[in-house]
Amino acid sequence: MRPLEVLDLDALMGIERRAYSHPWTEAIFRDCLRAGYTCWAMDQQGELTGYAITSLAVGEYHILNLTVRPESQGRGYGRFLLRALVNWAKGQGAETAFLEVRPSNRTALNLYLSEGFNEVGLRKGYYPAARGREDALVMARNL
């Protein structure tokens, strides 16, 4: 784990486009870096394996984007990254971690549930989808 840098954006965008039907744009990632969000890179043998964009304020830790490259999924990297984020947030004094997830993303949802996150809300029409919009489950975990 290390801080994400602008130089990582080419590799990151390759992963983002392969991982999502509606990926974030490079401009969004650049804005997150410029705005001072906490952005993490996870390297495996010198290659970007995953990344996370997070925000910490007033005791709340928001995980905005947590992604593992598709060809590395199913090997525990997402769990490793999530645990590292939670441990870092605890060390910074955060009291609660929040994230949103598509109900259709069963793999991610099961990961979050297994790591102690619970559903605390619903955001109607939050995500773009192939046919309109998809809701987001809002999940939280006390730290």
Q: What are phi and psi of 52, to 5 degrees?
A: -150, 140
The pTM for the full model equals 0.92
Q: What is the H or E stretch that residue 91 is in?
A: helix 77-91
- Active-site residue, selected from the candidate residues 37, 51, 61, 112: 112
For the chain, the C-alpha Rg in angstroms (whole number) is 14
95 is an active site residue: no
Q: Average pLDDT per run of 10 along the chain, which is 143 residues long?
A: 95 96 94 96 93 96 97 94 97 97 93 97 88 92 97
Task: Spell out the domains of the chain, with CATH numbers in brackets.
Answer: 2-142 (3.40.630.30)
- Active-site residue, selected from the candidate residues 60, 100, 115, 119: 100
Return the pLDDT at 27.
Answer: 97
